[in-house]
Amino acid sequence: MGDLYTKPQAKAGSIRRGLSPNIFSQAPITEVNNGGLSEGFGLIDDFLSFNDESPWISTAATAGTATLADAKGGVLELDCASGTSGQGIQIQYGGATGAASFVASADSKIYFEARIKVTDISTGIMEVFVGLSEVDTSIIASGANSSANHIGFELVDDNLEIDFHSESGGSRSSSANVASIADGTYVKLGFLVEGVSKVTPYVNGIAKTAISTNIPTAALTPSLVCQSGGSSVDPIMSVDWVACYQAEQIAN
């Protein structure tokens, strides 16, 4: 796993499988692979195994499942198992206790990226979130993001365009239409949080418009949501991997 994530890729904005260098080149990510914690903490999950109670907790909104696919290299499938609006599945890192460990501060940087694809989406009628959120058992409810503190990519409407949001205490800043979802095509969605004054989204390693307001300082955790938007559309999100690292020297 270490080679996959730490070797340089041929292009800075590469759509190859590994972490995007434009996000992670300055992160001490080798520490995660080698068990070091002196410069921060984090995780890389390639989904070679999965337990829906630890370290991830899965929550179904009436319907939905989170199961490993029979795929080389590890893939987790989030299946709505429903074509009814608002029904589906979400996962959050931290297990049944609902722990959230990533907290932005003036001296920290938070690196996040996930490689996902969504299938069975003849239209854009779906509800998707990929990023960091406070602990919330229903991140998307009634057709809207209910988490008061989050940073991530979101699609909650009837098109295939993904927006990027940063929300703190219920106040939100956004970059619209940063990416498009194509049925069955993998995309890498990531961002870099610099202190508490800037967060830059990346799509396949390419930087998009940064946000400088409403960056949450609440405790957040990696979170993914895949729900139907209705009209009998039953999307399935395949998650190849999720990586999140906070670079900061911690005294506790």
- Reported as a single tens digit per residue, the pLDDT across 194-240 is 999 999 999 999 999 999 999 999 999 999 999 999 888 899 999 99
pLDDT tier at 122 (50, 70, 90 boundaries)?
confident
Place of tokens 């699609």: 155
For residue 241, the surrounding DSSP H or E stretch is strand 236-247
Whether pTM > 0.85 for this model: the answer is: yes
Handedness of CA 67, 70, 73, 79 (dihedral sign): negative
Say which CATH topology domain 2-247 has.
Answer: Jelly Rolls (2.60.120)
Task: Give residue 133's identity as a one-letter amino acid code.
Answer: S
Q: CA–CA separation, 2 vs 49, rounded Å?
A: 17
CA 81 to chain centre: 21
Q: Give the phi and the psi of residue 186 in degrees, each rounded to 5.
A: -70, 145
| Mean pLDDT, the chain, integer | 89
Question: What are 54's two structure tokens?
Answer: 């630890």
- pLDDT value at 48 more than 70: yes
Residue 128's Cβ-side half-sphere holds a number of Cα atoms within 13 Å equal to: 33
- pLDDT value at 250 more than 90: no
Instruction: Please check whether residue 66 is in contact with residue 89, taking contact to mean a CB–CB distance below 8 angstroms.
Output: yes
Q: Give the phi and the psi of residue 34 in degrees, each rounded to 5.
A: -100, 5
Q: What length is written for the chain?
A: 252
Place of tokens 């899965």: 58
Q: Give the phi and the psi of residue 2 in degrees, each rounded to 5.
A: -60, -45
- Reported as a single tens digit per residue, the pLDDT across 56-101 is 999 999 999 999 999 999 999 999 999 999 999 999 999 767 788 9
Residue 16's pLDDT is what? Answer: 80
